[in-house]
Structure 1
């Protein structure tokens, strides 16, 4: 359980850095993005590659990038 939260936070942190939204998200949002992104990525791409805490790292990061991009598209602040 603790490992899943730690790995989820790392995956969310990496996804936030890739999308440049990491500073806008808090650490709880990083954990949620990592865990949800892991489920999305493994559902779409399978469970190939190295695994930590039961999560395939590469598909999880790709899924988290998708989740962060979609959420920031719908809930991001506009620059008007």
Structure 2
């Protein structure tokens, strides 16, 4: 998050990066299936399955990364001021 409260360009593009990587993996699988079988339906099914599996795995990997100090600070700011008991 940038200092003025808006998300940085990197934060905005992160979901698009994950989608692009998953689409690339799905496309690779679909092309291999198409070249192997010459059946478009099997290639599309292979693309779809590979895309979904890659998307889920990439999302799980992204969630498993420990947050940086900036992210921890941002989370604390979003939680609001600490309550005085």
Q: Structures share a fold, TM > 0.5? A: no
More strand by share: 1
Q: Which has the higher contact order (CA 8 A, sep 6+)?
A: 1
* Larger radius of gyration between Structure 1 and Structure 2: 2
More helix by share: 2
Could you tell me the TM-score, scaled by structure 1's length? Answer: 0.41
Could you tell me the TM-score, scaled by structure 2's length? Answer: 0.39
